[in-house]
Chain A
Amino acid sequence: MKKEIWTYLETDGRGELVSASAELLAKAKIIAAAAEEKEKEYSICALLAGAEHHALESAAEKALAAGADRAVLIEGRDLAVYSAEYYSDAIGRLAENEKPRMILFERTTDGMELAPRLAARLEAGMISDCVDLTKENGKLLWVRHAFGGTAAVSVSFREQERIQIISIRPGSFGGAGRVKNNADGSCVTPDPESRGLDAAKTSAAIVSVPYSAADSAGGAGKAAGERIVRPELVEVLEAAADRGVDLSTAGVIVAGGNGAGPEGFKLIEELADLLHGAVGASRVAVDKGWISHAHLIGQSGITVTPDLYINCGISGSVQHIVGMRDAKCVVSINKDPKALIFNVSDYGIVGDLHKVLPALIAEIRRHRG
C-alpha cells in the first residue's frame, strides 16, 4: 500500500475550503513528487475535522476535486469549535494508528499553533513556515527563512521512521495552487467531474472517524486516560471591516503606516482598488485602530510577496521589513529622505503622502484613459 501524505484542511464551517487549504493540496502534490523514490510512492489524504457531517463531506468533495486521493473526516461534538488541544489529540490518535509519512499544515492562525502541539504529542520533528523544498542526494531539504528574512535555512528530518510535521507559508512554493477567492472570502475549487469523479467514486473515497476527547489515549505530556483540558472560547470580537482580499496571495499591495492617519488610509484604499490590489499596514496603524490585524505586515503579522508593494508613511523598521522584503518591486512614499524604508525600495518619492497619493491616483487614471 502507498504511504500517505496528510494535509490538514480548514473550512469555513459551511462546506467550503479556506483558500490556504485549497493551496495546500497543490503543494502536497509537489511534495509527494519530490519525496517519491523507487518503491516509495505517496498518495494524498485530506484531513478535515469538525462536528457537522454534511459540511465536512461537502468540503471533502472539494478536496478530492482539487487533488486529494482520499479524505478522512474526524467528527465529534468536541470538535465543533476549534481548539489546539482536542484537534491535536484527534489527529495524533489517528496518526499513531495509520502512520502517515508526513502531515502538512498551512501556516494559518490555527495551523501555526496546532501543528507544533501535534508534533509534541507525537514526539515528532517539525519544520514551521516552510517556503520551499529541494532534494540533494536523495535527501529532502526543507527551506525556511530566519533572522528577519536575511537567511534561508535548509533543514532535514533526522528520524526517517517518525511522522514528519511541516507547516507551509501561504503563497509560497512559487505560488503553487493559488486559488481565486469568491467575494465572501471562500475560494473557487475545481469541479469534481474534471477529475473524472462521479458520486460513487467520491463517496467511496471519504471515510468518517469518530472522536471524543473523553477517551484520550495519552500522548507525550499526558498519561493515558488523563483528561485533556482546553480553554473555553467566550467571545469572538468583530474584526474591523475586511475587504476579502487575501494579502498572502495578492499581486499588488498598497500599505500605510503611522504617517498615513485615517485620512491617508482612504487614499490608500482608493489606490489599492484602482490597482485591484489589497491594503496592508504597519503595526502602528493596526495598534491605532485605523485598520484590522488581518492587514498587518511584518514580524507579528504576515509575510507578503506581491509583485508590487507601494507603501506610504512607513519608516522601515526591521520588524516591518521582514514582512515585505521579498516583494518584487517596492515603491515608497515618505516625507523623510532618511527613512530606512528607502534602503529596501526600488523607487521612492520624498514627499507628503496626502499630496503624492492624489497625484498618483490621477496620473494612473489619466494613463488608463
Chain B
Amino acid sequence: MNIIVCVKQTPEAGKGEMNPGTGTVLRTDRKQVINPFDLYAMEAALRVQEKEPDTRIIALSMGPASAASVLRDCIGLGAETGYLVSDPAFAGSDVRGTAQVLARAVRVIEKREGIRADAVFCGAKTVDGGTSMLGPELAQFLGVPQVTYALHCSPQKSKDLQESQGMQDSPDLQESQDPQESQKLQGSEGLQQMPEGTRTNGTFLRVEKEDDRGNRIYCIPAPCLVTFTKASFQVRYPMIARILEAESMELPVLSAEDITAEDPAGDSLSEKNPVAAGPEAAAMQVEAVQLRKLDKQSQIIEDPDPVKAVTALAQRLFSEGIL
C-alpha cells in the first residue's frame, strides 16, 4: 500500500493563543507540535506497514516553512519522506482552499514518486480550528470514498465476504454484492489504468469507526481516505536514529506554481479539481475573535472526614438552589 499521511502543525495542547484584534493565531512564542490526532493517523499507517512491509508512507503538510518540523516528526516515526506545501499565496486559505491544494498535492506526489496513493490518512480534527471538515472535503476533491473518526484499520487483499456474515440478511448488502458492484469494488478497473509497477497488494482497508450508536466496521476499497480519532492504544515513540536522519534530510517543497501548473495526472484535473486558495479566494472570512475566559471562584473543601466535607458542600448547593 502507498499511504499519504496529512499532518498539521498546531499549538501545543492548551497553549494556543489568538490575537483578538486580527483573529490570527499568535504562534511566534508558542511551541508548535504535530496535531495530536494526526499522530493516530501516522500510527495507523505504521500498523498497516507492519502487516504489509512493502507499504510506503509519505507525510504531507501545508503551512509555513517551519511546518517542516512536523514532517520530520513523521519521518522519525517511520515515514520515508515528507512533502511540504508552502507558499505565501496559500497563507490564509480556508478549509476549502486547503483541501483543494492538498488534493492537488496528492496528485503531484503520485506523479513524482510514480505511485498511486492507495490511502490518504488524516487526523479526524485539529486541536486549533477543530472543524473536522478537512478530511471529508479532501476525500470529495480526490473523488474517493471516506471513513471518518476511525480507531484502527488493517489492510485486506480482497473483500472478504466471510467477514460480513451475520449481515447477510440485510437487503442492502445483498444488493451491493451484485456482480457489477463487486467487480468495481475489487478495484480491477481502477488498477488496470495504473501504469506498470504501481500496483499494490492492499486493495481494501477494514476500518473500525467510532460511533455512538455502536462502532461500525467498514470495508473500504483503495484509493480511499480515512480520518483517525484517538484510540485506546499508545502511539509509538520516534526512533532516535530516524530523528537524526530526518534532521539532515532535504524535504521536497511544493510551491503554488507546482500545485497549480503541474497537471500531474495528465487528465482534466484542473477542471475536476479547482483551486481557490489564499484569503482572497476563501469562502469564509473571520470577522472577530473573542477570548472566552473562565472565571471560577473554585471553593475547594478539604476535610479528612468525607461526611463533613459532603455536608459542607451540600449546604452550599442546596442554599444556592443548584441541588
Residues of chain A at the chain B interface (Cβ within 8 Å): 51, 77, 80-81, 83-85, 88, 109, 112-117, 119-121, 123-129, 136, 139, 141, 145-159, 162, 219-223, 226-227, 229-239, 275, 283, 287-288, 292-294, 299-300, 307-308, 318-319, 325, 329-331, 337, 342-352, 355-356, 359-360, 363-364, 367
Does B78 belong to the interface (CB within 8 Å)?
no
For the complex, is B124 an interface residue (Cβ under 8 Å from A)? yes
Q: Which residues on the B side are within 8 Å of A139 (C-beta)? A: 287
Residues of B contacting A155 in the complex (Cβ-Cβ under 8 angstroms):
284-287
Enumerate chain A residues within 8 angstroms of B172, measured Cβ to Cβ.
51, 77, 80-81
The docked-state distance in angstroms from the alpha carbon of A367 to that of B311 is 11
The verdict on B131 contacting chain A, using a C-beta distance below 8 Å, is: yes
Contact B167 A153, beta carbon cutoff 8 Å = no
User: Do A116 and B298 touch (CB < 8 A)?
Assistant: no
Report which B residues bind A (CB closer than 8 A).
11, 13-14, 16-18, 23, 37, 94-96, 99, 103, 124-125, 127-149, 159, 163-164, 166-167, 170-173, 175-176, 184-185, 206-208, 210-221, 224, 229-232, 268, 272-274, 276, 282-294, 296-303, 306-307, 309-311, 313-314, 316-318, 322-323
11 inter-chain pairs at a CB distance below 8 angstroms, sorted by A residue, are A113-B135, A125-B283, A158-B282, A220-B141, A231-B219, A231-B224, A236-B213, A237-B208, A275-B323, A367-B314, A367-B323
Q: Is the CB of A120 within 8 A of B284?
A: no
Complex CA gap A126/B99 in Å reads 13
Chain A: which residue is nearest B137 at the CB level?
Answer: A120
Separation of A355 and B276 alpha carbons in the complex (Å): 59
**Given A116-B137, A155-B284: A220 and B272 within 8 A (CB)?**
yes
Q: Which residues of A contact B313 (CB under 8 A)?
A: 331, 347, 349, 360
- Indicate if the CB atoms of A123 and B299 lie closer than 8 Å: no
User: CA separation between A220 and B297, bound complex, in Å?
Assistant: 51
Closest to A352 in B: B306
The smallest C-beta distance from A288 to any residue of chain B, in angstroms, reads: 8
* A347 / chain B contacts, CB cutoff of 8 Å: 298-301, 313, 316-317
Residues of B within 8 A of A349 (CB): 300-301, 303, 306, 309-310, 313
Chain A residues, Cβ within 8 Å of B296: 330, 343-346
The answer to whether A154 and B300 touch across the interface, beta carbons within 8 angstroms, is no
Q: Are B184 and A229 in contact (CB under 8 A)?
A: yes
User: Chain B contacts of A356 at CB under 8 A?
Assistant: 306, 309-310
Closest CB of chain A to B206's CB: distance in Å? Answer: 7
CA separation between A294 and B146, bound complex, in Å? 22
Decide: B147 and A231 in contact? CB cutoff 8 A.
yes
Q: Are A342 and B300 in contact (CB under 8 A)?
A: yes
Q: Which residue of B lies closest to A368 (CB)?
A: B323
Q: How far apart sit A76 and B136, CA to CA, in the bound complex (Å)?
A: 23
Give the distance in Å from the alpha carbon of A154 to the alpha carbon of B287 in the complex: 5
How many whole Å from B23's CB to the nearest CB in chain A? 7
Given contacts A234-B219, A346-B296, contact A239 B214 (CB under 8 A): yes
Q: Point out the residues of chain A lying under 8 angstroms from B294, CB to CB.
A: 325, 344
Give CA–CA (A352, B303) in the complex, Å. Answer: 11
Per the bound structure, the CA–CA distance linking A367 and B319 in Å amounts to: 12
A229 contacts which chain B residues (CB < 8 A)?
144-145, 184-185, 221
- In the complex, A63 Cα to B131 Cα: how many Å? 28
